[in-house]
Amino acid sequence: MSDGSANSALPRGKPAFDQDPHRVREITERNLEAAIGREVRNFRRQQGMTVADLANVTGLSIGMLSKIENGNTSPSLTTLQVLSHAFSVPVTAFFKSYEERREAQHVRAGEHVEIERRGTRAGHQYNLLGHIGSNNSGVVVEPYIITLTTESDTFPAFQHEGLELLYMLEGEVDYRHGDTVYPLKPGDSLFFDADSPHGPETLVKLPARYLSVIAYPQG
């Protein structure tokens, strides 16, 4: 058995990511002008048009279109009608992201739903913590609490699309991903490409519970 924990440790320096988790999206999510501008830009790009192309089609100036796309001006109904004709969409299409509902699910302790997930092995208890279907992110996320007991079998050959994060809550398991086996204890995590064979290979200390979050593209 090889232990890949040393080689898989995070770098000592703090990694830099583009997304700011503390950013307040007041302008892009709650401002009507910005919502309209975002839809105008999306429609223009979907049709392979430059701002200059759109200006030629609509008779609107490049400067005005740039202001609209950046949410710096409130376009009149007449302007929106001109744009709707250019894109062959209804005027209401420009308000879609401003009006749409953002979902959230609150699951209280003990209220999660036990399910039979496709490919579930004997004795592997899956409790789904929430589910949001079709959404604008283009990603489906499935969060589970998985419980293993003395009745659970080992199966280190699960394969499915997407990425998966495991976070160990209780017990100990040796978890295989590809050619490497990782000893997981409470507080340990494992983040991996789920297309490679993976799963618990040795149940070291039972019962074992871990959080599993699977993310994959919407079909």
Per residue of the chain (219 residues), give pLDDT as tens.
545 544 555 556 666 666 666 665 444 444 788 889 989 999 999 999 999 999 999 999 999 999 999 988 889 989 999 999 999 998 888 887 765 556 677 778 777 666 655 545 566 888 888 877 766 677 889 999 999 999 888 888 888 999 999 999 999 999 999 999 999 999 999 999 999 999 999 999 999 999 999 999 876
* Token pair in block for residue 173: 């398991």
Return all residues near 72 (Cβ < 8 A) that are at least 6 apart: 33, 37
Question: Helix axis angle, 51-58 relative to 77-87, nearest 10°?
Answer: 110
Give helix then strand counts, H and E, for the chain.
6, 7
* Token pair in block for residue 37: 């501008």
What pLDDT, on a 0 to 100 scale, did the predictor assign at position 6?
Answer: 46
pTM given for the model: 0.57
In the chain, the amino acid numbered 59 is: G
> Backbone dihedral region of 145: left (phi > 0), alpha (psi from -120 to 50 degrees) or beta?
beta
